[in-house]
Amino acid sequence: MLKQTKIVATISDKRCEVDFLSDLFEAGMNVIRMNSAHLNKEGFDKIIKNTRAVSNRIGILMDTKGPEIRTTVTDKDEPISFKTGDKVWLKGDIKNNTSADCIYVNYIDFANEIKLGSMILMDDGELELKVIEKHPDSLLLEALNDAVLGSRKSVNVPGVRITLPSLTEKDRANILYAIENQIDFIAHSFVRSKQDVLDIQQILNERHSPIKIIAKIENQEGIDNIDDILEVAYGIMVARGDLGIEVPQEKIPGLQRTLIRKCIAAKKPVIVATQMLHTMIDNPRPTRAEVTDVANAIYYRTDAIMLSGETAYGKFPVESVRTMASIAREAELTKLQENDIRVPIPDDDMDVTSFLAKQAVKTSSRLQVKAIVTDCYYGRTARYLAAFRGKAPVFAICYREQTTRELALSYGIWAEYQEKKEDPKKYLLIALNKLIERQIINRNDMIAYLSGSFGADGGTSFLEINNTGKILDGGKNFHTPYFKD
Task: Please give the model's pTM, rounded to 2 decimal places.
Answer: 0.90
Q: What stretch of H or E contains 111?
A: helix 110-113
pLDDT of residue 425: 78
The secondary element (H helix, E strand) that includes residue 259 is: helix 252-265
Q: In what order do the strands lie in the sheet with 127-135?
A: 102-105, 87-92, 138-143, 127-135, 119-122, 155-156
Q: Residues 6, 33, 383, 389: which is the catalytic one?
A: 33
Domains of the chain (ranges, CATH numbers): 6-67+166-336 (3.20.20.60), 75-156 (2.40.33.10), 352-477 (3.40.1380.20)
Respond yes or no: is residue 70 known to be catalytic.
yes
Catalytic-labelled residue, pool 3, 216, 380, 383: 216
Among 35, 36, 72, 67, CA closest to 157: 67
What is the model's pLDDT at position 478?
77
Query: Is 216 a residue of the active site?
Result: yes
Helix-strand-coil split of the chain, %, nearest 5: 40, 25, 40
H/E element holding 387? Answer: helix 380-387
Q: Report the pLDDT value the prediction gives residue 484, as an integer from 0 to 100.
A: 42
Sign of CA dihedral 80, 81, 82, 87: negative
Of 70, 240, 267, 370, the catalytic one is: 70
How far does CA 325 lie from the centroid of its chain? 16
Angle at 159 between CA 155 and CA 162, to 5 degrees: 55
> Per-residue confidence of the chain (485 residues) as pLDDT tens digits?
679 999 999 999 999 999 999 999 999 999 999 999 888 999 999 999 999 999 999 999 999 988 889 999 999 889 999 999 999 999 999 999 999 999 999 999 999 999 999 999 999 889 999 999 999 899 999 999 999 999 989 899 988 888 888 898 899 999 999 999 999 999 999 999 999 999 999 999 999 999 999 999 999 999 999 999 999 999 999 999 889 888 888 999 999 999 999 999 999 999 999 999 999 999 999 999 999 999 999 999 999 999 999 999 999 999 999 999 999 999 999 988 777 777 767 665 668 889 999 999 998 888 999 999 998 889 999 999 999 998 899 999 998 999 999 999 999 999 999 887 666 678 888 889 999 999 999 999 999 999 887 765 667 889 999 999 999 998 777 777 654 43
C-alpha dihedral sign at 71, 76, 77, 78: negative
List 274, 302, 353, 403, catalytic entry: 274
Q: Strands of 369-376's sheet, edge to edge?
A: 413-417, 394-398, 369-376, 446-451, 462-467
Query: On the CB side of 123, how many CA atoms lie within 13 Å of its CA?
Result: 19
β 304-307/369-376 pair status: unpaired
**What DSSP element (H or E) covers 42?**
helix 41-54
pLDDT of residue 124: 84
Q: How many CB atoms lie within 10 A of CB 145?
A: 13
- Distance CA(296)–CA(438), nearest Å, equals 28
The pLDDT of residue 116 is 95
